[in-house]
Structures are given as structure tokens and as C-alpha cells.
Amino acid sequence: MYWLTLQRSQWYKPDKLFKIQERKIRRLLRWAITEVEFYRELYQIKDVSQINKDKRLLQRLPILTREVISNTPLNKRTASSIDLRKTIKRTTSGSTGIPVTILETRSSAAYWQALYLRRLWAYGVRPGDKVLRMLPSVAPAGIKFFIGRNPLEKFIWQDLRLLDMSPGIDSSFLKEIAKLGIDVMISQPSSISAIMRKLEETSLNLSFKIIITTGEVLTPSTRRKIQDRFGCDVYDSYSTVELGNIAWECPTHTAYHINADSLVLELNDPRQVGRSSIEGEAIGTCLYRYATPLIRYSTGDLVRLRDDECPCGRGLPLLVSVEGRIVEYIVTKNGKLISPSVITSALQSIGGIKQFKVVQHPDYTVEVRVVTADEMDHEQLSSLIEATLTPLLHGLKTRVRFTDSIEIRGVKLKLVESFVSK
């Protein structure tokens, strides 16, 4: 059972965790070279026994960018022995607006859920606690694929509530949350900020035992506002669709624990920023996904690591901070707030989009800037984008603008930006 194994391994000493990593890296590399055409051509390793002999082989392999993965056909990145009928396709735009698709198997979904449960258990979540997960949309097939992968789910997930944010955040949305009597809320910081803004306009009150943020950067000021508004513990996490659960905030709030028993997190071009801290671009290798392996994948996130022991006693290494995706909610003319993840998830589902950015202008108009694949018909794609977004934007006028490139300042693109909400 994955959860029991992960419950034990979080307390292992760093040297034992490193040995676990080494064993899983060798297994993953052997699999990738024998099963995946993309890695076979990229690495040109003829003798797989070399993997067992060279302990630093991983660090000598090339770093993969989002563009490389996105431009490589999915079938070329998929392991040949994987039964596609037993997988689910997951796509993300990330904070560069460039979609990347991976395949999740039932085994990797179970492992992903076990990592999730480890974090909830560390925060004191127990059977009987009502957990709310706010989502851009609730896809029954996708949820069913993940929930139920683990025997422990009958104790925790029996009180899980999924709330679709696509109708927009208004007073009726808040009343629905209040009616559920939630103990633990899991959501993006931007969505929680939207809830707090709407609460200020109503006489409603919400309370929680714990709030867990995910999917975006939680700034210190936003954390303070959430704590002040709801009077509860706030825990942050760092995850991506591509690499899964990367790190989670320690219950002592000292730092984030990297799931070193489940992935390898390296830094590209690391630089010393303190006595025991280094900073650089996060490069990740997921050690439990075999359908479409990602080995030395560049996230585009700037992270800071600290070589220190945590007072909680866990041996998992420490991550201090993440400079990642920045998003803002969209505002309708009647004051309803639309979570940015609702918009980005919808755009991710449209084929032919290589990159995008969403900008809401002061007149409430929503502009979607799009970089497309060369063969795409712009007129047809524009119609598809407008048809997809129209029911989600609640009457806001949408226009699509095609461009050859979208400028990224610094490490990350501001993927959704509204000049109405400022």
C-alpha cells in the first residue's frame, strides 16, 4: 500500500532517502530507454547496464524544456507497453501558456493520491473531517479515475466535496459553501482571494479549521489576509500536473518538504543565496509515472532550497520558496468573480494552441492572445475559442488575437491578468 510506505519514508534520514532515489532512478531510466522512443533517440544509450554502473548518469542527461515536450508527439513519448484504454490524459498550460500533455495510469493515480493523503494526515485531517476541493470544473470521468485508487480513501474521501467554480463566485456560491459545513478547504490562492472579496460585500460568514493552497504562488501578504479573515491554519503546497506533488509545507511552517522519495528535484545553474540556501530553476524527475516519463524536466519555476534539518524530524529535504505562476481572477460587469483556472483549463482542452495569455481590459473585454501550430486555421480556431469561453465568461465580450510570440518577463508569464480587479 503506497500510503503506508510513504508514511514511513518521510521519517527516513537523508542518506536512506538518497538510496531510494538512486534505485528508482535506475529503474525509470531502464524503462524509458527500452519502452519510450523519445528517450531512446535522445539518449543513444545502447547498453542499459551502463545505467547501473554510472551513479551520476542522471545529472549528465539533457534538460528537457516545456517546448521540447510540447512539440514531441504524445505517442512518441508514451511507453510502448502501456494500454491507452487504462490511462487518462491530463493537459496543463503552466505559467508559460504552453500546453503539455501526460498520461496517468491507475498505478500512478494511486501513488499521487497516497502523496496527497500523507500531506493531509500530517496536517491533522482525519476521518469525519469534511474536505472541500474547489475545481475549475468537475469532470466525473477524471475524478472517478483518481478517487478510489487507495483503500484508505473510504476513510478520508467519504467526506470529500468537489465544488465547480465555473458558475462564478458570488453570494449564491458562498451560501453553497456555508451549507456544506466544511472543515478543510483546498483551493488556489486567487480563488480564496475572490471568496474573501465577495464576503466583504455580504453579511455571510465562513469558517474553516484548515485551508490548503495549491496551484499558484501564495504570497506572504495573501497568507496573512487568509489567516486574518478565517482565523485558521494555512498550509501551502507546490505541485504541477507534469511532476505531481513536489513539496508541501511542514506542519511547523518551517519550510516545504520535498517528496524526495517520489521525485528528484535539481536546480539548473544553482547559486548560493545564504549560508545554507541555494537558488535556481527547478528541474524535476517524477519517479512514479511510467506511461509518459518526464526526466530532468524544466518547470520554469525559480525555487530556493535549504540544506538544514527540520524541527519536525522528517528527513525530507527543505524547499524555502517558489517563484511561480501568477494569475488574477476575471470580473464580470455584475460583480461575479471568475477563477482564472476555469479559463485556463478550458483553453487547455483546445487542440492547436501552442501558447496563450488572457488579458481583461478596463472596459471588461477579455482578450485571448494565442500562438498556434502552423497548420491551424485561425478563423476556425477563433470561433472554437469564443464558443468555449462564452458560457464561462457570463456575458463578457471576448476577442481572440493571434500572434507569433508572447513575451515572458523574468521566469514566468502572468498567464491571466485583469485590469478591472486592480
Those residues whose C-beta lies under 8 Å from the C-beta of residue 134, and which sit 6 or more positions away, are: 163, 165, 185, 186, 187, 188, 191, 339
What is the average per-residue pLDDT within 6-34? 95
Average pLDDT, the chain: 87
Identify the residue whose cell numbers are 500562438. Answer: 371
At residue 19 the predicted structure's pLDDT band, cuts being 50, 70 and 90, is very high
Task: Read off the pLDDT of residues 194-234 as tens digits, 9 standing for 90 and up.
Answer: 999 999 988 889 999 999 999 888 888 899 999 999 999 99
Task: Read off the pLDDT of residues 21-36 as tens digits, 9 standing for 90 and up.
Answer: 999 999 999 999 999 9
At residue 49 the predicted structure's pLDDT band, cuts being 50, 70 and 90, is confident
Whole-number CA gyration radius for the chain: 21
**How far apart are alpha carbons 298 and 282 in whole angstroms?**
6
What is the average per-residue pLDDT within 238-255? 94
Helix, coil or strand: residue 397: coil
Task: Read off the pLDDT of residues 271-325 as tens digits, 9 standing for 90 and up.
Answer: 898 788 999 999 999 999 999 999 999 988 889 999 999 999 999 999 998 876 6
pLDDT number for residue 210: 97
pLDDT number for residue 55: 67
What is the average per-residue pLDDT within 42-59? 78
The winner for highest mean pLDDT among 57-61, 129-133, 262-266 is 262-266
Share of the chain above pLDDT 90, in %: 58
Identify the residue whose cell numbers are 551520476. Answer: 56
| pLDDT surpasses 80 at 260 | yes
Handedness of CA 384, 385, 387, 388 (dihedral sign): positive
What is the average per-residue pLDDT within 83-106? 81
pLDDT number for residue 166: 85
What is the average per-residue pLDDT within 96-117? 87
Q: Looking at the whole model, is its pTM more than 0.75?
A: yes
Specify whether the CB–CB gap between 325 and 412 falls below 8 A.
Answer: yes
pLDDT number for residue 32: 95
Helix, coil or strand: residue 110: helix
Helix, coil or strand: residue 307: coil
- All structural domains of the chain with their residue ranges: 1-325, 328-418
Handedness of CA 25, 27, 32, 34 (dihedral sign): positive
The per-residue DSSP string of 178-201 comes to HHHT-SEEEE-HHHHHHHHHHHHT
CATH level 3 topology of 328-418: GMP Synthetase; Chain A, domain 3 (3.30.300)
Q: Which CATH number fits domain 1-325: 1.10.10.10, 3.40.50.360, 3.30.420.10, 3.40.50.12780?
A: 3.40.50.12780
| pLDDT surpasses 70 at 99 | yes
Q: How many Cβ atoms from other residues are within 10 Å of residue 47's Cβ?
A: 8
**How far apart are alpha carbons 267 and 302 in whole angstroms?**
9
| pLDDT surpasses 80 at 138 | no
By DSSP bridging, strand 318-323 and strand 256-258 are: antiparallel
Nearest in space to 4 (alpha carbons), one of 78, 154, 105, 111: 111
| pLDDT surpasses 80 at 133 | yes
pLDDT number for residue 408: 63
Half-sphere exposure of 364 (CA within 13 A, CB side): 13
